[in-house]
Structure 1
Amino acid sequence: MSFKTILTVTEPGMSDGDLHLAAGLCEEVGAHLAVLVVVLAAPPPVGEFAAIVSEDWLKERQADEKALKKTTAAVSAFLAGRALSADTVSAYPEASWADETIGRRARYADITIVGPEVLAGETLKSKVIEGALFSSGKPLLLVPQGSRPTLKPKCVMVAWDSRLESSRALRESLDMLICADEVHLVLVDPVEGETHHGAEPGADAAAYLARHGVKVTVDRLPSANRSVADVLRQHAIDVAADLLVMGAYGHSRLRERIFGGVTKSMVEDPSLPVLMAR
């Protein structure tokens, strides 16, 4: 799909680095930039000590609201200084439902950008990623520190495992794939069979892409006792990929957290810009 509205999320205390990055991507494709400024509120005190701490809690909320207002004004001023279509809104949700708040806002964008500063954190990072993937129906783009993100990549690597999540990621990135000079459809330890990759692993997906005019190559790779994530990272280096496209959370979030998985590994250590969809 084409990207006409791009969302990014920030909070008080962050620099404007992620904003610069998102604004640059909007300028690259002529998109509108939507900025959500978030402060995660502490839950109200409960139990026998509630009366004692309630005054401090109220003071904390007042300080949060003041910081939120100040940051929102600073973001609006930053955007006003650029020749860019943009808007800024703010939210003050409790941490327990912040992902829902972010996800609802992401429904009105084509993609959510998660820049290096958000990726370097923990709480806001998880809320933005889970909100975008589970509550918006839209993709997100992880941009690690030191990378050169673009929404017009020349070389794209697609991690394909024939699951619904991979199919969704393929469709969400189709416009970029059509415009790319080369697309590598990568299968790690593919399994033949009707319920897996078919008689010729990767052939059906490659044919689908080729009908859209995508210049696609199928790369079937052995894991050789390495993790799938490590195989993908190395192959991205080998083919000089600008972008990795992949489905997210083929397993449940709980299973990923306990046992690990490709999504978890890529979220924790993306070596290049990664477009994820679910």
Structure 2
Amino acid sequence: MAFKTILTVVGTETGDADLKLAADLCEEVNAHLSVLVMALAAPPPIGEYAAVVSEAWLEERQADEEKLKARTEAVSASIASRAISTDISSTYAEIASADEAVGRRAHYADLIVAGPDLLAAGTLKEKVIEGALFSSGKPLLLVPAGSTATLNPKRIMVAWDSRFEASRAVHEARPLLAAAQEVRLVLVDPTTGEFQQGGEPGADAAAYLARHGAKVTVDRLPREGGSVGDVLRRHAVDTTADMLVMGAYGHSRLRERIFGGVTRSMLEEPPLPILLAR
């Protein structure tokens, strides 16, 4: 199995569900668990009242650091009994650079896992996802509440649009795809042509995956006035997929934030475990 080191990020206010989830995945595939305990620093006061509130700000930061230390010790105790190798680090990060801190830590992992606790953590969620997708070069596995996480999925759906990001996601997921019982390569309103998705959209990607041992079926689906995200969600349910593999942010982050997009839609409401890469 390709995933030998799995990273998860926990906050000082999050529970232990994500920690247990990541540890379970490590046990499933005999991987090492790396945990980053992160607290986000309050921004410094500015303006004419800065001098007045600076003392309270310093006290707040000191309390945050004490909370971070206590949380790190609690995490260490929580996973001490697990039959896996582990390492734990902590960081008190400024909000502006927190994503880069996540990315640096992820350089030494094969996969970043974000579970239900992190997905409900607001700013911390945003920083971890940004760091994973834009600063690490590693795939990110989102596991929403109520879903079953596994790194041995039987049925995998791949969102394919022939772009670089989709190719990266497929590359990162190759071991999972080769071991799955069924892989569905899904194209929504595909376009033919040399500079689009070829004469037979999906055929080249299916052949590539088949050479790696994947059992592939190509599904070309109409959008029918709905969003691409809605089509993918519906098909994932119809085919009882265990995991969705897709590229992230085919457009710029700014454009996705302003106009929306498939990535943003899936990040806000992941319908099942999603393996993302870019």
Q: TM-score, structure 2 length as denominator?
A: 0.99
Corresponding residue for 1:72?
72
Distance 1:205 1:198 in 2: 10
Match of 2:27 in 1: 27
Matched, 1:244 2:244: yes
| SS of match in other structure, 2:40 | coil
2:126 counterpart residue number: 126
CA drift at 1:14: 1.4
Shift in Å, 1:12: 1.1
Structure 2: distance between partners of 1:264 and 1:28: 30
Task: Report the equivalent of 2:159.
Answer: 159
Match of 1:108 in 2: 108
Once the two structures are TM-superposed, the CA of residue 121 in structure 1 deviates from its matched residue by: 2.2
Secondary structure, aligned partner of 1:39: strand
Question: Matched residue of 1:99: which SS?
Answer: helix
Q: Is 2:222 aligned against 1:222? A: yes
Letter in 1 for 2:23: A
1:67-216 equivalences under 5 Å are 67-216=67-216
1:45 is displaced (CA, Å) by 2.0
CA distance in 1 between counterparts of 2:259 and 2:44 reads: 33
CA displacement at 1:47 relative to structure 2: 2.5
Q: Distance in 1 between matches of 2:53 and 2:194?
A: 61
1:50 is displaced (CA, Å) by: 1.4
Matches of 1:50 and 1:269, distance apart in 2: 39
* Aligned-partner SS, 1:156: strand
> Which residue does 2:265 correspond to in 1?
265
Map 1:1-40 → 2, pairs under 5 A: 2-40=2-40
Query: Residue by residue, what CA displacement relative to the aligned partner does 1:152-194 show, whole Å, maximum 9, x if unpaired?
Result: 0000000000000000000000000000000000000000011
CA contact (8 A) 2:14 2:121 kept: no
SS in 2 for 1:185: strand
RMSD: 0.8
Aligned to 1:34, the other structure's residue is in SS state strand
Unmatched segments (≥5 aa) in structure 2 = none
In structure 2, what is the Cα distance between the partners aligned to 1:260 and 1:223? 17
- For residues 106-158 of structure 1, what are the alpha-carbon distances to aligned partners after superposition, in whole Å with 9 as ceiling and x for unaligned? 11110100000111121011101000000000000000000001000000000
Q: How far apart are 1:56 and its partner, in Å?
A: 0.2
Counterpart secondary structure, 1:245: strand
Q: Quote how far apart the aligned CAs of 1:46 are.
A: 2.5
